[in-house]
Amino acid sequence: MKNYDVVIAGAGAAGLYGAYNLSRDLKVLVIAKRELTLCNSALAQGGIAGVYNSPDDSPEFHKHDTFVAGGYENDPEATEVLVTEAQTDIGKLIELGAEFDKQADGDYHRTLEGGHGKHRIFHHADATGFEIETTLLRTVQALPNVEIWENALVCDMAKTETGFSYLVKMADGSFETVNCHFSILATGGIGRVYMYTTNSAIATGDGIAMAYRLGAEIKNLSYIQFHPTAFNNRHTRECFLISEAVRGEGAYLRNCKGERFMHLYDKRLELAPRDVVSHSIIFESKRVDSDEFFLDITHKDPDFIRGRFPMIYKNLLAQGIDMTKDYIPIFPCQHYLMGGIKVDTYARTDIENLYACGECSCTGVHGNNRLASNSLLEAHVFSRRAAGDINEKAKNAPEGFAEYEFDLHEGAPKMPEGFRRKIRKIMQEDYFVIPNVEGLGKGLEEVSEIVKTLDEGRFIIDRDYVEARSLATCAHIILKEAYAICSESADIPNMPIFDKPDEE
C-alpha cells in the first residue's frame, strides 16, 4: 500500500499541468498507462487558442466563436472562465519554456482555424501538443513532491472513508494499491471506441468508465466530434490528422471530381466549424456517390507549406503524397469527445474530492461541437483550477488513509477476443457523423450484453480486459444517450447548425 495526498491518473497536458499547480507541500503521484508521450496531448498539431496580449482580439470575441461552434449549448459560466483565463495559462506555458512560433517583428504568430473569427491560435509549427507535453514533462519531472509512474495501468478505483484507492498494474505485471485523499482523473478521450480515430492508443475512456462505476454523473457522452480531414489511407485505425490550420491557411476541399463543394452547404465554406464540414462531406458523398475527398493546398507557395507544416509535409511524403503538388486524400473520422465526467468550474465531480479534467471531463465549454484548439486550453485552465481547489481543501484533509482490498481475479481465465472489434464495428456503423437512427436500438442491445459479460465475468485483470471494459461502458453510455434523444423527439443527435447558402 502506498499513500499520497493526491493521485492523478493521466500524464497528458491536463494531468501534468494539474500536478504542476498543486502545492509543493503535497505528496503527488501521476500515473500513465503507457510511455509518457503516448497521449492525445502530444499529438495536437494546430495549437492552443486564447487571447494573450492581442489588442485586436478579446475574450468576448473568443467566447462568441466558441458559442457559435458549440451550437449555443455551451455552459456560459465555464466558457467565460475559459476565455478570460486563457491569458494566465498561455503566459505560464511561455514562462515554463514552451516555444510558440513568432513573426518577423518578434510578436507571436497567431494562426486561424475553422470557426475562429480572429487569428488567435498559438502554435509550434504543426506540432504544438508535443512541444507543450514535453515542456510540462520537463517541468513536472523536476518537482521534488511529484512522482511519475510510467507504463502503470490504473485498473480500478474505489471510494474509501478518507478518499480513494486505486488498483494499479505495474509494468512487471505486479499489482500496487495506492491510497489518496484527493483524486484527479485526467485519462483523456474515448477515440478507440471507433474503428477509425485520430486518437492515440491510450484513448479508451478508462477514467470515464471508472467514474461511472463510482456513481459520478457522466454528461453528453454522445457529443462526439468527427474531424473532417483525417488522412484517408483506409488501412490504419489511428488516422493521421491533417490539421484544421491547413484550411486556416487557405486549403480547399474537393470531391472525387476535383470540384469544390462547400458553397453548396455553408456560407463559411472551408472555414465552417468542424461538425458542419464533416456533415457536408457526408452529404456530398451521397450527392456524388463517392467517398473520395481531397484537401488541396497546392495553390500556396511550396516553401511556405513546407515551413508552416513540416510535420504534416514529412508524414505525407512518407505516404507518397507531396502536399505542395498533390491533393491530400481525406475523410472524416472520430477525433474528440465534448462530453465526459460532469464537473463544475473547479473541475469538481459530484463525488467529494474526485476531480476530472481534460478530455475525460465535461466542463460544458464546448457545447455540442468543440471550437478548434479550445481543448488544450480547457485542459490547462481547469486542471489549474482543480489544483487550486485541492490546495485549499488539503489544509483540512482527513488523518491517515483507509485501505481497500481489491479482488485481483487470481486464477481467472484470459478474456476471450473479439469484444473490442465488435464494439468498434457497432459504433462505426451506428453512430458515425450522421447516426443510423434505425440501428441504434440494436447496437445498444448488443453493447449492453458485452458490458454485462465483462462486468460480471471474472477475467485476468490485464490491459486487454481493462480497456475492453472501458470501451464497452463508454459505448453503452453513448448509444443509450443517443437512443434516448431519437426516441424522445425527432432530433437527430450531433446535427450541427449550418449557415446555409442563400436560395437562388
Ligand X SMILES: Cc1cc2nc3c(=O)[nH]c(=O)nc-3n(C[C@H](O)[C@H](O)[C@H](O)COP(=O)(O)OP(=O)(O)OC[C@H]3O[C@@H](n4cnc5c(N)ncnc54)[C@H](O)[C@@H]3O)c2cc1C
Task: Name the site residues for ligand X (rule: CB under 6 A).
Answer: 9-15, 31-34, 39-41, 43-48, 128-129, 153-154, 186-188, 198-199, 202-203, 206, 241, 336, 358-359, 373-376, 379
| Minimum CB distance to ligand X, residue 394 (Å) | 22
| Minimum CB distance to ligand X, residue 489 (Å) | 30
Q: In angstroms, what CA-CA distances link 359 with 27, 209, 244, 431?
A: 25, 13, 19, 19
Instruction: Kindly report the number of other CB atoms within 10 A of residue 234's CB atom.
Output: 10
Q: Which is nearer to ligand X, 31 or 387 (CB)?
A: 31
DSSP per residue, 221-247: TT-EEEEEEEE--SS-SBPPB--HHHH
Calpha distance 204→202 (Å, rounded): 6
| Minimum CB distance to ligand X, residue 166 (Å) | 9
Q: Which is nearer to ligand X, 43 or 381 (CB)?
A: 43
Residues in the chain: 504
Q: Which is nearer to ligand X, 238 or 446 (CB)?
A: 238
Query: CA dihedral in degrees (458, 459, 464, 470; nearest 10)?
Result: 0
| Minimum CB distance to ligand X, residue 297 (Å) | 17
Instruction: Kindly report the number of other CB atoms within 10 A of residue 290's CB atom.
Output: 12
| Minimum CB distance to ligand X, residue 142 (Å) | 18
Candidates 274, 308, 348, 469; catalytic one: 274
Instruction: Kindly report the number of other CB atoms within 10 A of residue 318's CB atom.
Output: 9
CA atoms within 13 A of residue 447's CA, in its CB half-sphere: 31
Question: Is 370 in the active site?
Answer: no
Q: Which is nearer to ligand X, 311 or 437 (CB)?
A: 311
Q: Which is nearer to ligand X, 208 or 272 (CB)?
A: 208
Calpha distance 113→273 (Å, rounded): 9
Smallest CA-to-CA distance from 402 within 179, 157, 156, 175 is with: 179
Active-site amino acid positions: 274
